[in-house]
Chain A
Amino acid sequence: MSEMVEVIVDDQTFHAEKGSLLIDLLIKEKVKVPYFCYHEALGADGNCRMCMVEIEGQKRPQIACDTFIKEGMEVRSKGENIEKVRTNILELELINHPVDCPTCDQAGECSLQNFYMDYGLHDTKITIPEKEKGLKKVDLGSNVILDQERCVLCARCTRFTDKITGTHELGIIGRGDHAKVSTMPGKKLDNPYAMNVVDLCPVGALTSKDFRFSQRVWFLKTVESVCHGCAKGCNIYIDHNKIKYQDDVIYRYRPRRNDEVNGFFICDEGRLSYKGLQENRQHEIVLDNEVISEDEAIEALKDLVKKYKSNITVIIDANLYTEDIEAILNFSKEIEANVCAPLDIYRDEDFKDDMLKSAQRAANYKTIENLSLETKIPEKCELLINFNHPGKFEAERSIDFRTHQDPDAAFILPLASYVESSGHITNEEGITQHCQKALSKNDPLPTVIEWLEKVSV
């Protein structure tokens, strides 16, 4: 580790590593500094010029993202002078901006909008009424739509495809007023992490085809959770909203920064995995093609357990929360059942890559491994109680707790999905993380724990 030095920012003293970037210190210490192009994952580019600060001894304002920390540096991030500089730069950014915030999906989480409220608030000096026009809807591929007019040319998206994915699909073509983000003619944005450019885009130039025009962002409620797409355990924000007279619905997943697990990004498949949670859900309790009430179901379940007393097998899905797994283990002990959790079915070598995707496509498989549960089911089992395990198993009689519909199941009991309950999961690196409950449904389905409480009384 290199030497720590003292830096004064707006009369406050901070300590920072010598030679590190000034903007990193400002972001870390929550000093308000506007920027479009800088991103901690992509590094400095220095093209937007918004992060200007005054440095004692320097003639002109300097950009914080290209200033290295030196001993005894005195920085001013506030004041009339520097704010005027920022206003002027912002004015340049806004020359060709269409200011179509009312129809823009980014409105509410747009850097340009925020900075205008902080440093702009000016009347335009441009007397020519024509703005440089661009295409409003360019399908770049991979669910990403480009609006050329809104772009501020910060190059975050192009740097993402250059530095992070290394696929080099995006670039800024042309120059001056005509410069725009584009793919090669006839080529598309095509990589499994492409939708991260939508989050990276500080303005509404890149929007997600999936989320476009579905909600205004200020109506969305956000909870912190973990993606269940694979064993990597990428941290996410779940944005959901309950529109009046309708049910609580997830509108999007966004990556949540966690340097220990996923860094800044998530894969597109994980990002869109919320859709599967809202389709083909099982809502009723069905026994032999007949919808029955909860009380009848509990009675039937108890009868079956009593009948097959000596030969019951419980199967656990490796996506369940650790709390749920523990409850199942206790229940199994109570009814003296074999417990097993077959893991082979989750393995998907095609899914794996060397960024974030893991071949183990079960979020909590590490807990199953740690508990050293049996992974092979017995050859012959009479009664099989399956807790949402995706596999198909032979048995004389089976009871299926399912989040999703299963046409083969004879006795099926609906389960809440992971976004409808909370709990912990342990990822493949052994990091245990908490998932908050996101959705409060109008007709909530019981969780595993709730079912087992009802059954065991």
Chain B
Amino acid sequence: MSFTFSNENLLKIEALKKRYPSPKALTLPCLWMVEYQEGYISMDAIEEIAIHTDTPPMEVYRVATFYTMFHLEPQDKRTVQVCKTLSCKLCGSDEILAHLNKKDLNIVHAECLGSCGTAPVMQIDDVNYENLTIENVDEILKALK
């Protein structure tokens, strides 16, 4: 199972390369590209990034393991990040969590998602869903399927 960057991503890498004094700086952007392209970061992808960034694969792997946003294995369930910080907690994130836990989802307890005015909040695929109630959580999930 080998990995190749999509043409679009390859163009992006070339464009980004001009910005930085060393290609090593592209490690994080490349990891993001792989995460979006494949949904996870495979070891083949790490080897590929190592070639583009001119760094040892171990260095790329270290960075990938350091950040919790990168998945190193294919995700078979939808990931839902639920905010567990103060405002959301006060506005009932516990009930939302209890409701979500009954479903077949990969629940991640996130720190503040930066949307306290519209608490409680959850994030799915970079989109914040705000002012949650048990009813609209079900609707949101239905719409996504």
Per-position binary interface string of chain A over residues 161-180, scored 1 when its CB falls under 8 Å from any chain B CB and 0 otherwise:
01000001111111100000
Segment among B15-23, B56-64, B116-124, B127-135 that sits at the interface with chain A: B56-64
In whole Å, how far is B66's beta carbon from the nearest beta carbon of chain A?
Answer: 5
Tell me the A184-204 residues at the B interface (CB within 8 Å).
184-186
In the complex, the answer to whether B66 meets A171 with C-beta atoms within 8 Å is: no
Interface assignment of B13: CB less than 8 Å from any CB of chain A = no
In the complex, the answer to whether B57 meets A168 with C-beta atoms within 8 Å is: yes
In whole Å, how far is A163's beta carbon from the nearest beta carbon of chain B?
Answer: 12
Cα–Cα distance between A168 and B66 once the two chains are bound (Å): 17
Cα–Cα distance between A162 and B62 once the two chains are bound (Å): 13
Interface assignment of B65: CB less than 8 Å from any CB of chain A = yes
Interface assignment of B25: CB less than 8 Å from any CB of chain A = no
In whole Å, how far is A34's beta carbon from the nearest beta carbon of chain B?
Answer: 27
Cα–Cα distance between A392 and B63 once the two chains are bound (Å): 56
In the complex, the answer to whether B61 meets A171 with C-beta atoms within 8 Å is: yes
In the complex, the answer to whether B43 meets A186 with C-beta atoms within 8 Å is: yes
In the complex where A168-B59, A171-B59 touch, is A184 in contact with B66 (Cβ < 8 A)?
Answer: no
CB-defined contacts of A183 to chain B, threshold 8 Å = 58
CB-defined contacts of A173 to chain B, threshold 8 Å = 61-62, 65-66
Cα–Cα distance between A202 and B46 once the two chains are bound (Å): 31
Query: Interface SS of chain B: helix, strand, loop or mixed?
Result: helix
In whole Å, how far is A141's beta carbon from the nearest beta carbon of chain B?
Answer: 14
In whole Å, how far is A187's beta carbon from the nearest beta carbon of chain B?
Answer: 8
Which of A169, A174, A184 neighbours the largest number of chain B CB atoms within 10 Å of its CB?
Answer: A184
Cα–Cα distance between A175 and B64 once the two chains are bound (Å): 11
In whole Å, how far is B122's beta carbon from the nearest beta carbon of chain A?
Answer: 25
Tell me the A243-287 residues at the B interface (CB within 8 Å).
none
In the complex, the answer to whether B58 meets A184 with C-beta atoms within 8 Å is: yes
In the complex, the answer to whether A184 meets B59 with C-beta atoms within 8 Å is: no
In the complex, the answer to whether B62 meets A171 with C-beta atoms within 8 Å is: yes
Cα–Cα distance between A171 and B64 once the two chains are bound (Å): 12
Q: Report, as a range, how many residues of chain B touch the other chain.
A: 10 to 19
Query: Interface SS of chain A: helix, strand, loop or mixed?
Result: loop
Which of B43, B46, B58, B62 neighbours the largest number of chain A CB atoms within 10 Å of its CB?
Answer: B58
In the complex, the answer to whether B43 meets A170 with C-beta atoms within 8 Å is: no
CB-defined contacts of B58 to chain A, threshold 8 Å = 168-171, 183-184
Cα–Cα distance between A171 and B66 once the two chains are bound (Å): 11
Cα–Cα distance between A75 and B56 once the two chains are bound (Å): 39
In whole Å, how far is A177's beta carbon from the nearest beta carbon of chain B?
Answer: 13
Per-position binary interface string of chain B over residues 22-65, scored 1 when its CB falls under 8 Å from any chain A CB and 0 otherwise:
00000000000000000000010010000000001111011001
Given contacts A168-B58, A174-B66, 16 further A-B contacts (CB under 8 A): A162-B56, A168-B56, A171-B59, A171-B61, A173-B61, A173-B62, A173-B65, A173-B66, A174-B65, A175-B65, A175-B66, A183-B58, A184-B43, A184-B57, A184-B61, A185-B43
Tell me the B41-95 residues at the A interface (CB within 8 Å).
43, 46, 56-59, 61-62, 65-66
Cα–Cα distance between A185 and B73 once the two chains are bound (Å): 12
CB-defined contacts of A186 to chain B, threshold 8 Å = 43
CB-defined contacts of B61 to chain A, threshold 8 Å = 171, 173, 184
In whole Å, how far is A445's beta carbon from the nearest beta carbon of chain B?
Answer: 48
Cα–Cα distance between A162 and B61 once the two chains are bound (Å): 14
Nearest A residue to B68 via CB reads: A175
10 CB < 8 A contacts A-B: A169-B58, A171-B59, A173-B61, A173-B65, A173-B66, A175-B65, A175-B66, A183-B58, A184-B46, A184-B58
Nearest A residue to B65 via CB reads: A173
CB-defined contacts of A169 to chain B, threshold 8 Å = 58
In whole Å, how far is A153's beta carbon from the nearest beta carbon of chain B?
Answer: 12
Cα–Cα distance between A170 and B59 once the two chains are bound (Å): 9
